[in-house]
Structure 1
Amino acid sequence: GTPLLSPGGTVVPAAPLPHPRLSKLHDEIFAFAQASILSGEAAHAEVMTILASLRGVVGARWHQASVELYGSRSTGLSLASSDVDVTLLGMPINGGRESIGAALKDLHSDLEKTSWVASQQLVLSARIPVLKVKSTTGVPVDITISDTAQHTGLLARDLVLGYLHEAPQLTPLVIVLKSFLREMGLNDPFTGGMSSYSLVVLLWMFICESVHRGYATTDLGYQLIGFFSMFLYRFESQLTHVDDPLSPMISGPGEVRENIMHSCYQIGRVCRTFHRALQVLSPEQPAWDDEETPLLPRLFTEVAGSSRATQTDPHQSSPLDTGS
């Protein structure tokens, strides 16, 4: 607070202003994220062991190559079920796809000799050829080869780490929303759900807009409610294009920017889910201030539970399921 002058003329420090009371939902979101991070520590230790083994195997065959971790395992935003995404840099692959495929086959052969690998699958027909490995404890590892340091996964990793540095409140919000979307079956872009990257970018945009408008961004509960509202306002109006913040780095001048929501063809179902979540968690609900009634679990029991009971074919389109 501002120092005050006493009647005798000496400076008396003002009593600090009391911190505004944070919502009950804020505490529940923080506790949920903390528990999720703690439960993932054992998996994190195994991921580090897998990475060390991979670096040894790759380095033995290709001395100039390096193994880079990206995706949610590299940013602290992973769930227990998250994949491990790695790419190999500095590989001798001058022949394009053919030499990438040959290198992945060599790596497949080398990994067969390691004790932690339970199964492997080469997917050379994918847009980006990948070696999919599963550890003996069930940890999935996707290995790709990059012919340039401008690998979009690495660029996205560094972008997200920058966001987290600027807005640490992103971490608990992302973990709660990723867990919720996973429960709903809406967290996989390959089946029309939202990618983790899209979720982080949209949350970052929301926090930036909140700061710009002068709103407080410290209460995770109100941030979650505000994000649901922003999402519905934006996407229920049929607008499903969101520029990829990485586009200026990977696109040429004048090119149309990549849309981070292009694969989210279940956007209609995401909107309906967030609408129901907003109803359940609304500050106008009696449970908002009732210390005896937890709020966050209702997101998983009432919203996700009822959706699973009534879920239709995930490929069925709705009026809101637009492409781009």
Structure 2
Amino acid sequence: GDALVRPASSGSWLRDEDAEFFEEDAERNELQAERNSRMRQMLHKRRQVKEKEAESAPEPQVQTEEFMTVGEVVPLGRGVVDENLPPWFCPRPHVENVVLRLHEELLDFTQFMKHTKEEVEARRQWVRVIGTVCRSLWPECEIRIFGSFFTGLSLPNGDVDVAVMNVPCRPATAMKILADTMLRAGDISWLEIIESAKVPVMKIRSQACGLRADIVFNQQDGLNTSKFIKQRVKEYPQLMPLLVFIKYYLLQRGLNDTFTGGMGSYLMCNVVLHFLQRHPSLSDPRLHSATSLGHLLFDFFKYYGREFRYDQAISVLDGGYTFRKEERGWGGKGKGEGEGGWAPVWMPTFQK
């Protein structure tokens, strides 16, 4: 018969192949535990920074989103801090409704995750360093910021997306020239060039501050799509708190990098935007007034987890709609781009 083994941590007999799955699952759990520990340390460190800012401010003001709020917020940095509570938590004992408590906590979380003045300035200085090197190589080039830092949806550990325009050479060549120059100058401690991506990208980390940057060359799409998302954030006030939470949710589980099979920021923006465009509260003023962020978060996971038909694709253009993948030749078997399935999203690319 099949050889059986009994792992020390298991009380049952397992086949060899089952034991391998058991060991892989244990390794994944260990990696997840390490990732969670790092996240907790980052959040508690961030709370200390927020508390110092609150203490130094003469009259701290907590800004809320342009969306329904419930009750008064207890300012960060005031009173006794309970280490067992999340670092963004603000007590509201008078709010008994669980969904409204979730609504308020999502707003608190969004406020907590906003960049501090020091974090914003550090990223701007990092962009200045990149821009100085690029202009020394290509005097006519232009440096543009796009992505989550531009739209205001960046997490505290988020990188900076930089587009270098008007570079008189191929992107692959420009990336290698820039990488060589910054390495020799000691500006970066790590780099990765991904030429096989749909949009070739150069990933670097600053030697001075540890911040990362994704750099693309002569690519206008990222600038246009970032403007599109920024406009939708203004149009849908619910979009920012939902996105900030879901982005962190994916980051915590290592599912935020498209290159490794996860869901990147722009794709996530469109997925949440489509959900809001299709939500019943959008067309019903009475329902809209009674719909909180707590309701929307639950409905988001319900929509994509139970209701959405994955033989369909989504679009966020023209108010949002769905269509069958086959209509555009997506998702079929065989050779070509469709092999292996498609992400069911039709995103605006703003091509001329």
Pick the TM interval, shorter chain.
0.5 to 0.7
How far off its partner does 1:49 sit? 0.4
Of 282, 297, 301, 1:211 maps to 282
Map of 1:84 onto structure 2: 160
Map of 1:230 onto structure 2: 303
Of 163, 166, 190, 1:119 maps to 190
Of 30, 33, 36, 2:110 maps to 33
Unaligned runs of 5+ in 1: 1-18, 94-98, 247-254, 260-316
Letter in 2 for 1:221: G
Change in Cα spacing, 1:132 to 1:186, as seen in structure 2 (3 Å) is: closer
How far off its partner does 1:142 sit? 1.6
**SS of structure 1 residue aligned to 2:114:** helix
What is the CA–CA distance in structure 2 between the aligned matches of 1:183 and 1:234, rounded to whole Å? 25
**SS of structure 2 residue aligned to 1:222:** helix
Of 112, 130, 136, 1:60 maps to 136
How far off its partner does 1:72 sit? 1.1
Map of 2:200 onto structure 1: 129
Map of 2:213 onto structure 1: 141
Map of 2:177 onto structure 1: 106
Unaligned runs of 5+ in 2: 1-67, 72-99, 319-326, 332-339, 345-352
Of 244, 251, 256, 1:175 maps to 244
**Cα offsets for 1:53-96 (capped at 9, x unmatched):** 22222222222211111111211111123232211111113xxx
Letter in 1 for 2:142: S
CA contact (8 A) 1:243 1:258 kept: no
| Paired residues for 1:1-324 under 5 Å | 23-38=100-115, 41-93=117-169, 99-114=170-185, 116-136=187-207, 137-146=209-218, 151-209=220-278, 210-214=281-285, 215-216=287-288, 219-235=292-308, 237-239=309-311, 241-243=313-315, 245=317, 256=328
CA contact (8 A) 1:69 1:87 kept: yes
TM-score normalised by length of structure 2: 0.57
TM-score normalised by length of structure 1: 0.61
User: How high is the sequence identity, in percent, across the aligned residues?
Assistant: 27
How many residue pairs are counted as aligned between the two chains?
228
Change in Cα spacing, 1:181 to 1:119, as seen in structure 2 (3 Å) is: closer
Change in Cα spacing, 1:232 to 1:129, as seen in structure 2 (3 Å) is: closer
Letter in 2 for 1:241: A
Letter in 2 for 1:156: T
Change in Cα spacing, 1:71 to 1:240, as seen in structure 2 (3 Å) is: farther
**SS of structure 1 residue aligned to 2:288:** coil
Change in Cα spacing, 1:125 to 1:232, as seen in structure 2 (3 Å) is: closer
Letter in 1 for 2:283: H
How far off its partner does 1:124 sit? 3.6
How far off its partner does 1:114 sit? 4.4
CA contact (8 A) 1:100 1:145 kept: yes
How far off its partner does 1:224 sit? 1.3
Structure ranking higher on relative contact order (CA contacts 8 Å, 6+ apart): 1
What is the CA–CA distance in structure 2 between the aligned matches of 1:59 and 1:143, rounded to whole Å? 14
How far off its partner does 1:134 sit? 0.9
Map of 2:324 onto structure 1: none
CA contact (8 A) 1:244 1:258 kept: no
**Cα offsets for 1:219-264 (capped at 9, x unmatched):** 22222122222223443x3335223649xxxxxxxx94999xxxxx
